[in-house]
Structure 1
Amino acid sequence: MNTPVAPPDLRLLSRPAGDGRAAAPVRILHLGLGNFFRAHQAWYTDRAPDADQWGIAAFTGRRPELADALVAQDGLYTLTTRSSDGDHVAVVSSLSTAHPGGDHDAWLDHWRLPDLAVVTLTVTEAGYTRRADGGLDLGRADVAADLAALRSDPAAPVHTAAGRLLAGLSARWQASGGPVAIVPCDNLSGNGEAVERVVRELAEQTGRPELVEVVDQGASFVTSMVDRITPATTDEDRATVAATTGLRDSAPVVTEPFSEWVLSGDFPAGRPRWETAGVRFVADVTPYEQRKLWLLNGAHSLLAYAGTIRGHRTVAEAVADPGCRAWLEEWWVEASRHMSLPADDLAAYRAALLERFANPRIRHALAQIAADGSQKVPVRILPILRKERARGVVPQGAARVLAAWLCHLRGLGAPVLDAAAAQVVPLADGPPPEALRRVLDFLDPDLASDRELVTAVLAHSETLAAV
């Protein structure tokens, strides 16, 4: 496809007289300023009928470049919804201000705002600094550093997600601010409870009773399920936006037409009218979490590891491969057997996934999906594996994903980009049978002693390695 040529007189995105409404007062604070947040939470807020009352202040992880680019264009950016038959480009105006993640003073200042009501965050599973059992990993250097800082001064700069939330809650409490809703938006099952646990454990470890109190009294922790495929932005995407809109956007986002957000929990200080923009509020998010985590994210892990071994670069390429497609269907049959949603609902969701995955105009890189498998595989694959083993069955779909991840750690397919790479990559070295048992032991010691499973995974790994 030829990239359109941009006109020479591009207009810079600006407000309020330009391409967006006036910036709304900040009532939402976000950690994890990136493409997914801007295609999802910010987009839903922009579409709410009361959007002019709900501005967002967003902070990057640590790198300042994206915040600088968005500040230069008044927080505005274009969102290109890319379907198989064309693009729809819109300017999103819900981001009122952006900050680099290292600006701790600004972070605390926003927590002190009297009208702050909602704090959302998009971090990876690894970003919660949890142990395998879900507790706070006190052995990590960054957690230990935050703990020392908070013991000395709750307003001291911190860096982990748990530390930043605790510091913010403390600053708000000291400013006599009311409780807020904390809403994690990620692929972690039961994410509201998971975040509450690590924040509370961090508070307890400081030895400051007042910090435990601010967790108990200063926030509700909302559980959410989020779903929208949002690939990394390319130079071609930037050039296409410029050519088709005449706008100079340094931070455009490209996404798919499908989007879903399901929430469960209390919002003590209110929230935007997200339900009119398509957000669903339910008593229990679990069935929707499982559907997305096992059918979409589990499939992504399968394609990321097995697909790259077969030479594919994107989800669309992998799902077009009959071999990968058959493996995908096999995994979905296993996973669907253990879901509580109606069969018709699951069938429709799987059909929609095939259409989404096959969209050739969404270049969702498998190497991007493959990152941090040590955090993703346990929550995406192991629950189904355990349920199938309880039935007395060796699930071939789940076994193949484990085999593909083992091959990935041994240098096949996508490069290893994992927060635990220093720990897991050496486990996969050496003769395959011993390497496999070490990797399975890392995931769950019971798996390493399961002879039938070990045999199945080893057979799949030999087949994949021979591709």
Structure 2
Amino acid sequence: MNPVSSTGWPAPRIPRLSWICWVPNRLRNHLSSSLVQEVNIMKTLHFGAGNIGRGFIGKLLADASHQVTFADVNDTLIDQLNHRQEYKVHVVGADQKLDVVRNVAAVSSAGHEVIARIITADLVTTAVGPNILDKIASTLAKGLQARFDAGNLTPLNVIACENMVRGTSHLKQEVLKYLPVAYHATLETCIGFVDSAVDRIVPPAAAANDDPLEVTVESFSEWIVDQTQFKGELPKVAGMEPTDNLMAFVERKLFTLNTGHIVTAYLGKLRGYRTVREAIEDPVIRSKVRRAMEESGAVLVKRYGFDPRLHAAYIEKILSRFANPYLVDEIDRVGRQPLRKLAAGDRLVKPLLGTLEYGLPNEQLQEGIAAALHYRNADDPQAVELQALLAELGPAKALARVTGLDEESEVVRAIVARYETL
């Protein structure tokens, strides 16, 4: 009978293959080539089998010959992935292609099997959304504790691929809350929590599509990781770019793609458009969105020394991505959760604060925030809550509460004036 670890989970028997990496190099020649080949296959556990998980991170890892196992709460999705062990990805843009991602598996993120996967994993990634990230911390802590109890002290890196600044560092702090203090030193030695910046538009599948696993993605993708936070060797994944200056790229993406996306959505909603493409094809909206990204871009140039000409080209690239005719990106998908998106550290207020810090223009960012206050969506609890706050407190007090801006400040007065005229 297997012993029970201190986590309460049965301590698994670790296959001998898991320890071949500890065999001295001079002895490796005596191993069969098949064993060495199996050892060299990276085992990745990816939390989140949704469209972004399958169409972006999971695809890049599978393309790099990783053995990818998805962990999710959707039992139907898990069963479908395990039955077929593959799914289709439509890559759309100037050049279109259909890729098939093969040799994948899935486990429940709420069951015992996910713990066993953490014990033997070579890499853990996530694409669950910022609101769910905290919820997987306890599972990850249990898995790491079981990993240490099983004697596996080989380096393991965890990369949260979320739309949030330093999301993996946040996840680490949540994991430490659940992991007994006796294991903290081992975690610091063996486990790398690697922050990243991710960028790829992956809209929901079309309702007419009868393949529940099929996903459509744009051809552009960017996955930048903080190379200073890895333990052991950096994994070799085409499309994953290491950097020692991650925050420059995190804010470039947040201040440009995310800012432009959300301003397009909120202005488009006011004009009655359904999709991002419809909104960005409106020349008035396109001009306003470009100007908002130019205002936030001026902060990036000042703060990180980005080349203004190259950044202007980056802005135009993003505008063309919003207009991709092959992506049906609904405004309510982009605009949902306005309370989170109006927070001080997110895509509207953070660049605004940068303009205030450097004394730069911010009129179009102000209008984007004012448009956010008008966002209505009966199916989105945060949108309902925002409108309730506005009705209860009035625009100035509600804006101050949601954003952290000073209610008496000049910029709040300016945003409220724009809100009242939109």
TM-score by length of 1: 0.75
Read off the aligned partner of 1:88 and give its amino acid letter. Answer: K
Identify if the C-alpha distance between structure 1 residues 359 and 172 changes in structure 2 by more than 3 Å, giving closer, same or farther.
same
1:316-344 alpha-carbon deviations (Å, 9 max, x no partner): 11101122112102211210111122223
Q: 1:394 to 1:282 in 2, by over 3 A?
A: closer
Q: In the alignment, is the contact (CA less than 8 A) between 1:166 and 1:215 conserved in 2?
A: no
| Matches of 1:295 and 1:372, distance apart in 2 | 19
Q: Which residue in 2 is equivalent to 1:112?
A: 119
Residue of structure 2 aligned with 1:234, choices 206, 211, 220: 206
Q: How does 1:145-184 map to 2 (within 5 A)?
A: 160-178=135-153, 179-184=155-160
Task: Tell whether the 8 Å contact from 1:406 to 1:436 is kept in structure 2 after alignment.
Answer: no
1:37 matched to 2:53? The reply is: yes
Alignment deviations for residues 353-400 of structure 1 (CA, whole Å, 9 cap, x no partner): 111111111001111111222223321122221122234566222211
**1:224 and 2:184 correspond:** no
Distance 1:391 1:295 in 2: 18
The structural deviation recorded for 1:43 is: 1.8
Residue 93 of structure 2 corresponds to: 83
CA contact (8 A) 1:29 1:120 kept: yes
Retained in 2: the 8 A contact 1:126–1:372?
Answer: no
Match of 1:357 among 322, 334, 340: 322
Q: Which residue of 2 aligns with 1:289?
A: 250
Q: Secondary structure at the match of 2:327?
A: coil
The residue type paired with residue 401 of structure 2 is D
CA distance in 1, matches of 2:171, 2:289: 31
Residue matched to 1:64: 75
Distance in 2, Cα, partners of 1:219 & 1:332? 37
Tell me, in whole angstroms, the C-alpha distance in 2 between the residues paired with 1:348 and 1:392. 24
TM-fit CA distance, 1:231: 0.6
Preserved contact between residue 170 and residue 211 of structure 1 (Cα < 8 Å): yes
Task: Confirm or deny: 8 A CA contact 2:190 2:231 kept in the other structure.
Answer: no
**Residue 436 of structure 1, CA deviation:** 3.4
What secondary structure sits across from 1:172 in the alignment?
A: helix
Indicate whether 1:429 and 2:418 are aligned. Answer: no
Structure 1 unaligned runs (5+)? 1-21, 130-159, 239-248
- The one-letter code matched in structure 1 to 2:87 is Y
Q: CA deviation at 1:228?
A: 0.8
- The corresponding residue for 1:441 is 401
CA separation of 1:417 and 1:217: change in aligned 2, threshold 3 A: farther
Counterpart of 1:44, as a letter, is L
Corresponding residue for residue 241 of structure 2: 280
Matched residue, 1:148 = none
Give the CA deviation at 1:125. Answer: 2.2
Q: Is the CA contact (8 Å cut-off) linking 1:45 and 1:94 kept in structure 2?
A: no
- Provide structure 2 residue ranges, at least 5 long, that are not aligned to the other structure: 1-37
In the superposition, relative to structure 1, how do residues 44 and 455 fare at CA in structure 2: closer, same or farther (>3 Å)? same
Q: Is the 8 A contact 1:70 1:250 kept in 2?
A: no
Question: In the TM superposition, what is the alpha-carbon distance from 1:267 to its structure 2 partner?
Answer: 4.0
Structure with the larger RCO, 1 or 2 (CA within 8 Å, 6+ apart): 1
Structure 1 counterpart of 2:333? 368
2:323 partner letter: A
Task: Give 1:346 shift.
Answer: 0.9
Question: 2:371 aligns to what?
Answer: 404
| One-letter amino acid matched to 1:117 | D
Q: CA deviation at 1:300?
A: 1.3
Q: Give the Cα–Cα distance (whole angstroms) in 1 for the partners of residues 336 and 414 of structure 2.
A: 24
Quote how far apart the aligned CAs of 1:415 are: 4.2
- Name the CA shift for 1:406/1:421 in 2 (closer, same or farther; >3 Å): closer
Deviation, 1:211, is: 4.4
Aligned-residue Cα RMSD (Å) equals 2.4
* Corresponding position of 1:18: none
Deviation at 1:26, TM superposition (A): 6.4
Compared CA separation, residues 342 and 438, structure 1 to 2 (3 A): same
Normalising by structure 2, we get a TM-score of 0.82
Q: Which deviates more from structure 2 when the two are superposed, residues 261-270 or residues 381-390?
A: 261-270
Mapping 1:164-313, distance limit 5 Å? 164-178=139-153, 179-203=155-179, 208-238=180-210, 249-265=211-227, 266-268=229-231, 270=233, 272-274=235-237, 277-313=238-274
CA spacing shift, 1:416–1:405, aligned 2, 3 Å? farther
Q: Distance in 2 between matches of 1:34 and 1:81?
A: 16
1:93 and 2:93 aligned: no
Work out the number of aligned pairs and report it. Answer: 376
Aligned letter for 1:192? T
Percentage identity across paired residues of the two chains: 24
Amino acid at match of 2:421: T
Q: Structure 2: how far apart are the matches of 1:170 and 1:55?
A: 23
- The answer (yes or no) to whether the contact 2:396–2:412 under 8 Å persists in 1 is yes
Rate the CA distance shift 1:347–1:237 in 2: closer, same or farther, 3 A: farther
